[in-house]
Amino acid sequence: MTKAIFLDRDGVINQERKDYVKNIEEFVIFENIHDAITLIKNHNFLVILITNQSAVNRKLLTIENLDKIHEKLQNYLKMHNTSFDGVYFCPHMPNENCNCRKPKPGLIIKAKNDFKIDLSQSFMIGDSQTDVQAAESAGCKGILLKQNQTLLELVVDLFESEKI
Ligand SMILES: [Mg+2]
Ligand SMILES: [Zn+2]
């Protein structure tokens, strides 16, 4: 049985920017992210990135630059002997009414089908209510990262709580 922890990107993995992360220079990874991801994988969960990137269809960010950003992230993690198992993004703007922009569950469902994930054993961690809503619509548990809480702190708590 495959289980996964889905992670939001901006505000969880890297510094959020009100004007969007538009290039590799603006992509600033938080400390200890690799430790959090390693800990998750040691508990036999896949780690999958689920991110809204409407900057693409707002024409502020090219797909090429988005790919470069995610390549930088994966290379950074690989340097620390870990990586995301999957990376899923929604390029759409809210008015496009797609089924993949969180709070819609489309990206989580796509990952579930690609990896045959048991969502009832899986979690989505994000810093926004829309992350929690997407999780609940998909049928997994949503966990809200608190302000001033790091992903590593949340993940340590989660596994120590023995809720999973
Ligand atoms: Mg976020
Ligand atoms: Zn979408």
Domains plus CATH for the chain? 7-121+129-160 (3.40.50.1000)
> Do residues 32 and 150 touch, judged by C-beta distance below 8 A?
yes
> Do residues 65 and 23 touch, judged by C-beta distance below 8 A?
yes
C-alpha of residue 51 to centroid of ligand 1, in Å: 8
C-alpha of residue 104 to centroid of ligand 2, in Å: 8
Residue 98, pLDDT above cutoff 80 = yes
Q: For residue range 45-88, list pLDDT tens digits in order.
A: 999 999 999 999 999 999 999 999 999 999 999 999 999 999 99
- Predicted pLDDT at 161: 86
Annotated active-site residue 114? The verdict is: no
Partners of 87 in the β-ladder = 49
Measured between alpha carbons, how far is 23 from 67 in angstroms, rounded to an integer? 10
Ligand at shortest distance from the CA of 125 = 1
Residue 164, pLDDT above cutoff 80 = no
Annotated active-site residue 8? The verdict is: yes
Ligand at shortest distance from the CA of 13 = 1
Q: How many CB atoms lie within 10 A of CB 76?
A: 15
C-alpha of residue 117 to centroid of ligand 1, in Å: 23
Residue 107 region, left (φ>0) first, then alpha (ψ -120 to 50), else beta?
alpha
Ligand at shortest distance from the CA of 17 = 1
pTM value > 0.75? yes
> Do residues 29 and 146 touch, judged by C-beta distance below 8 A?
no
